[in-house]
Chain A
Amino acid sequence: MTALLELDGIGISFGGLRAVDDLSFTVNQGQIVGLIGPNGAGKTTVFNMITGVYKPASGTIRWQGNDITGAKPARIATLGLRRTFQTIRLFADMSVFENVRAGCHLAARQHWWQGLLALPAQRREEAELAARTHDILRRLDLEGVADTPATSLPYGVQRRVELARTLAGQPRLIILDEPAAGLNDAESAALNDTIFMIRDTGVTILLVEHDMNVVMQVSDHIVVINFGRKIAEGNATAIRTNPAVIEAYLGRDDDEATAA
């Protein structure tokens, strides 16, 4: 197993509050890793540091052994690291097709002047990327809504569109920020299948999730944080019985503990 993404002692503060402190964990190639923790534990902040939205105040983030700490989001994307957002961020005025096509941005080799002159090579590439987009739409069962304005769709479908958009970038690792939030039971179950399907195409997955059923069922490895610090790490069985985890959840939030 080779390490794809390594977090080594990263930390960040907001206005004196230590949101994440000395956090280390590793995501190996081909794994599905779950990051869990009670509300406000700092999970999304960790994602924002990995994807370059925030710059960690301390520690290093490595991608295949190379230091990428503090790199800008656009540079992170070039590594093949893509994410979804907890609050879905689709392009509102665009169709589902256009949104997923946006994920192909880095695959486009055309220069701006080729585009403005509509040269043959550029037209060819457009056709190729449109085909790739349609292929992904088919795989995620979105062909039927390709021309529909993305934000007019039900929440669950929008989540799938955002997922399709990350896949269009042919990522090595995708980071899913609460992919099951707002989904009904059937959609949530389908999500599990989708996550396995993505992993089977060779994509590594790191996810934050409140829905314990999803996390426990899909994750190979789980990292638990509370108040910005790691409190446990291991497979689903080990986490379920870990006293520190049980205390963190029972002590703070009963709903989540029963869900677990």
Chain B
Amino acid sequence: MRGFKLDGLKLGALLWAAGLALPFALDSSWVSIAAFFAIYAITALSEDVILGRAGMFDMGHAVYFGIGAYVTAILNTTLNVPILLTLPLAMLLAAAAGALLSAPLIRLRGDYLLVATIGFNAIFVLAMQNNPGGITGGSDGITGIGVPSLFGLQLESQSAMFWLDWVLLGLVLLVMRNLDACEFGRALRYLKQDELAASTLGVDARKVKTLAFALGAALAGLAGTLFAVQLSTVSPSSFVFTESVTLFAIVIVGGQGSIPGVLLGTALMFVVPQIFRGLAEYRYFVFGIAMIAVMVLRPQGLLPRRRSAA
């Protein structure tokens, strides 16, 4: 078992390293799609922390993705804060929002939490559209977001941005792997399986769940920053409820708590539609059918989490 697990890790590391070479093999529009894959993969993994691992039905995850994007957009365009500085701030604010919004709702079970998070998402989008204090730019959003600079080097080419996204995806993947093997990550699984049994073992449900929401939101905030930089513009339409539904579906279709599953889900839900842009009309129709088909044929997801051994 141990040897096999190590192989999975090696395979992942190899694939990631091979991915670094993508800008040499692809034209710029494909490099851009690869960059979006990395960004959405981070977002989907962050949803997996809350939904797949902790078992909390978060159907408003686009909120934290959006907070990350807006924090970076506002700080960068109005106060000229460099992107590499807005990035930790975006993560921090998204985490704070995740902890604050979830704190009162954490005792809600299953479907009620799902409905409440739908409500948060709707309110967030409406708030961004209504341009409170004139800082969110209303429906048009904010344009003219700068590019990150590293050691005085402007990362403005599509390839440079891809590498930034890809390296950060690599780091997030490492964090997700560590999560599996630490007490916090295990506590999430105990709570997901049986909250009462977990609490009699001393798991502090409120603390652990709040932390899970904060971590998931922080990673989504990171992805949101990268998203704002990649597009150099943000607008409310990128963070609507449908985006949350897609993130939710990625985790379930891919496989809850399964890193390869979530990555495959991201590729299917975000990248494949880019390929079939020409058939835009039929895209979501086919998509809906595919979602039903996958669930009926493989209710546990395409690449479910393997039962891990000692």
Assembled-state Cα–Cα distance A89/B205 (Å)? 17
Residue of A nearest to B202 (CB): A77
User: 8 Å CB contacts to A: which residues of B175-205?
Assistant: 175, 178-179, 181-187, 189-190, 193-194, 196-205
Within 8 A of B (CB), among A17-37: none
A83 touching B200 by the CB < 8 A rule? yes
The CA of A108 and the CA of B1, in the complex, are separated in Å by: 25
User: Are B182 and A102 within 8 A (Cβ)?
Assistant: no
Q: Do residues B196 and A89 form an inter-chain contact, with CB atoms below 8 A?
A: yes
Q: Does A182 contact B (CB under 8 A)?
A: no
Q: Verify if B310 is at the interface (C-beta below 8 Å from A).
A: yes
Residue on A nearest B305 in the bound complex, by CB? A93
Give Cα A216 to B181, complex, Å: 44
Q: For the complex, what is the distance from the CA of A77 to the CA of B203, rounded to whole Å?
A: 9
* Cβ A93 vs Cβ B193 within 8 A: yes
CB distance from A115 to the nearest CB of B (A): 3
Q: Verify if A97 is at the interface (C-beta below 8 Å from B).
A: yes
Bound-complex Cα distance A111 to B34 (A): 35
Residues of A with C-beta under 8 A to B184: 112, 115-116
Contact A105 B196 (CB under 8 A): no
A149 to B186, CA, bound (A): 16
* Cα distance, A92 to B182, chains bound together (Å): 19
Residues 194 to 238 of chain B near chain A (Cβ within 8 Å): 194, 196-205, 211, 215
| Contact (Cβ within 8 A) A115 B308 | no
Which residue of B185, B197, B215 is within 8 Å of A91 (Cβ)? B197
CB distance from A246 to the nearest CB of B (A): 35
Chain B residue nearest in CB terms to A149: B307
Contact A89 B194 (CB under 8 A): yes
Q: How far is the CA of A51 from the CA of B242 in the complex (A)?
A: 43
A residues within 8 A CB of B215?
Answer: 112, 116
Distance A16 CA – B147 CA, assembled complex (angstroms):
67
- The CA-CA distance from A91 to B201 in the complex, in Å, is 12
Q: Give the distance in Å from the alpha carbon of A235 to the alpha carbon of B105 in the complex.
A: 49
Q: Across the interface, do A91 and B193 meet the contact criterion of CB distance under 8 Å? A: yes
B197 touches A130 (CB 8 A): no
Minimum CB–CB distance from B48 to chain A (whole Å) comes to: 14
Chain A window 95-133, contacts with chain B (Cβ cutoff 8 Å), 1 for yes, 0 for no: 101100111011010101011111000100010001000
Interface string of A149-190 (1 = CB under 8 A from B): 100000000000000010001000000000000000000000
Task: Quote the shortest CB–CB distance from A82 to chain B (angstroms).
Answer: 7
Query: Which of chain A's residues have a CB closer than 8 A to the CB of B201?
Result: 77, 82, 102-103, 105-106, 165, 169
B309 at the interface (CB under 8 A from A): yes
Q: Flag if A74 contacts B193 (CB, 8 Å).
A: no
- A115 and B182 CA atoms in complex are apart in Å by 5
Interface centre among A53, A108, A112 (most CB of B within 10 A): A112
B179 near A115 with CB under 8 A, answer yes
Min Cβ gap B167→A in Å is 17
Other-chain contact of B183, A73, A97, A110 (Cβ < 8 Å): A110
Range of interface residues on chain A?
35 or more
A126 with B309: CB separation less than 8 A: no
Count chain B CB atoms within 10 A of each CB in A83, A116, A117 and give the residue with the most. A116
A134 → chain B closest CB, angstroms: 8
What mask results when residues 55 to 85 of chain A are scored 1 for a CB within 8 Å of chain B, else 0? 0000000000000000011101110001101
Determine whether the beta carbon of A73 is less than 8 Å from that of B181.
no
A140 at interface, CB cutoff 8 A: no
CB pair B185–A102 under 8 Å, yes or no, is: no
Within 8 Å of chain B (Cβ to Cβ): is A147? Answer: yes
Q: Is the CB of A115 within 8 A of B200?
A: no
Complex interface: chain B residues within 8 A of A10 (CB):
none
Q: How far is the CB of B308 from chain A (nearest CB, A)?
A: 7
Q: Verify if A223 is at the interface (C-beta below 8 Å from B).
A: no
User: For B193, what are the chain A residues with a Cβ–Cβ distance below 8 Å?
Assistant: 91-94
Chain A residues in 8 Å Cβ range of B310: 95, 97-98, 130, 146-147
Q: Which residues of A contact B211 (CB under 8 A)?
A: 112
Q: Once bound together, how far apart are the Cα atoms of A165 and B197, in whole Å?
A: 11
Q: How far is the CB of B51 from chain A (nearest CB, A)?
A: 16
Contact with A along B1-28 (1 / 0, CB 8 A): 1000000000000000000000000000
Interfacial residues of chain B within 18-57, with CB under 8 A of chain A in the complex: none
Cα separation A73 to B186 with both chains bound (whole Å): 18
Residue from B178, B185, B197 whose CB has the most chain A CB atoms within 10 Å: B197
How far does the Cβ of B49 sit from chain A's closest Cβ, in whole Å?
Answer: 10
- Show 29 residue pairs from A and B whose CB-CB distance is below 8 angstroms, ordered by the A residue: A72-B199, A73-B196, A74-B199, A74-B203, A76-B200, A78-B202, A89-B197, A91-B189, A91-B190, A91-B193, A93-B307, A95-B309, A95-B310, A105-B183, A105-B187, A105-B190, A110-B182, A110-B183, A112-B182, A112-B211, A115-B179, A115-B184, A116-B184, A118-B178, A118-B182, A126-B182, A147-B1, A149-B307, A165-B201
Interface residues of B (CB under 8 A from A): 1, 175, 178-179, 181-187, 189-190, 193-194, 196-205, 211, 215, 307-310
| 9 residue pairs, one from A and one from B, having the closest CB atoms | A115-B182, A77-B202, A112-B184, A106-B202, A73-B199, A108-B183, A89-B197, A97-B310, A147-B309
